[in-house]
Amino acid sequence: MKLNQIKNNLLHTGVAIALVTGMAFTLPSANAGGKITIDDTKWISVGMGIRMNYSAVQQGSAGIKFNGTGKDYSSDFSLNNTRIYLAGQVHKYIKFAFNTECFNCGFGNGSVSPSFTGLNGFASNSNIGILDAIVKFEFNRHVNFWVGRTLVPTTRGELNGPFYHQTHEGFKTPFYPSDHSVNFAGGQFGTPGGNSGGFLNGAGLYGRDDGVVFFGDLDVAQPWGGNGTLQYSSMVSSGVRSAALLGPNQSDSNMWSGRVTYNFLNPEKNPGYYTSGGYYGGAGDILAIAMGISHQKDGAGTFIHTSDFTGLTTDLLFEKVLDNNMGVFTFNAEYKRFWAPYDKIGQIGKTGLAGLGGVNAFASPDCACWFRGQSWTMYGLYLIPHKVGIGRFQPYGRFVSVQPESSTNRTEIEGGVNYIIDNYNARLSAFWQHGDLFTKGLNYSPFAAGNKIDKFTIAVQLQI
């Protein structure tokens, strides 16, 4: 029966791929977002972005079979991101950006319903909120400041955002606090690892935090000849905040973050200090090595078991445009190491109690239970040069390993193909994943458990 179920799901997935591929031959090419020019120094532009997918997850259905063989495959359609972009310039050196997101669109349970117990209220899973609100002081390529709600400069993965990864599900390794958290400072939430309804305030959302960023780039002479490009960015932000006597960081210390990237070959050209997971050959040959760090005093754990948080990342991007129009090879790799020894075994907390390796902390509703441990991922992609219909195919493979200190390890392998219509503006994807990364998720507690399962996904991304 299980074999038949897998065959049926493979058949359904194949049909879905055929339908999506057929649609690709009729989709129009994406164009640049609309822009209104007022004078030589003033303009305003508007754009949008949308990402959605269909997935079938082994043992992912709600019910259990009567024959005791386990749950069926799920069959779900999801809206991953729905964004509106608004940007403009009011002075030669002053710009702004205001972007929105449907924060709950990707979650079927939505917000708490006051109308029906256990059911969603009307439109409760469609909350539109402020994603970015940035005032930009941009003087030259060397020295610039952004102020407001913006991305924390740590990893290439975070700075790519969901729309500029080379794969549809780009975020696989553990998040920094600004992305693990589910609210900005000032709103109460329960962390994914702790009890919901806690008294811990936020540490950011979707990789963003409120603060100030200083960034730029410099040409650096290389010993073997020619120049490389050194890109730097640093940020001071709110980080995690807690109510009085409930949660860590009672002294209101700030989060300090920074990132340095060195491009050995061609420089990367992105807005501000943002990054991309690749350029489909449009930037020529790229070899970029980077290091990012983030630190907050008393930025993890609970009121009783508090610790500093420190995250370190190194990542690599290599992209080669092959000679004789033979396509483009892209390779990404990332290593993360997080230190947050809250409730570490034998560690004495403020009450004089010894830590139990996370048992105490994860049982508390005020825990900023960020990941601690190491993780790494790597993936390679090959963009086939010849068009099929209106796009090009890009097969790829990926591996992820996450190794928490106080929880079970989790891994995932992924294989798939992208159909590139207009780079990041119009892309279709179909991929398969196997492992226990999906079932264990962001639960880094000692109680985390999950089976190795198969997952099949069809996805589309459009933006203008």
- Cβ 386 vs Cβ 327: under 8 Å: no
Residues 285-322: tens digit of each pLDDT: 999 999 999 999 999 988 888 899 999 999 999 999 99
- What confidence tier does 182 reach under pLDDT thresholds 50, 70, 90? confident
Residue 259 to residue 272: CA distance in whole angstroms: 13
Question: Which of 8-17, 318-327, 328-337 has the lowest average pLDDT?
Answer: 8-17
Does some domain include residue 142? no
Beta bridge partners of 434: 413, 454
Domain span at residue 424?
2-79+152-463
Q: Does 352 score more than 80 pLDDT?
A: no
Does some domain include residue 145? no
Residue 425: give its domain's CATH number.
Answer: 2.40.160
- Cβ 124 vs Cβ 111: under 8 Å: yes
Does some domain include residue 29? yes
- What confidence tier does 345 reach under pLDDT thresholds 50, 70, 90? low
Beta bridge partners of 391: 388
3-state SS assignment for residue 33: coil
Does some domain include residue 454? yes
Beta bridge partners of 215: 144, 233
pTM surpassing 0.75? yes
Does some domain include residue 104? no
Cα angle 463, 127, 90 (rounded to 5 degrees) comes to: 55
Does some domain include residue 419? yes
- Which residue in 119, 106, 49, 48 sits closest to 77, CA to CA? 106
- What are the C-alpha distances in Å from 278 to residues 228, 269, 270? 18, 11, 11
| Structure tokens that stand for 201 in this block | 């305030």
Question: What is the average pLDDT across 127-140?
Answer: 94
Does some domain include residue 426? yes
How many separate domains does the chain show?
1
Does some domain include residue 110? no
Percentage of residues in the chain having pLDDT higher than 90:
62
Beta bridge partners of 243: 246
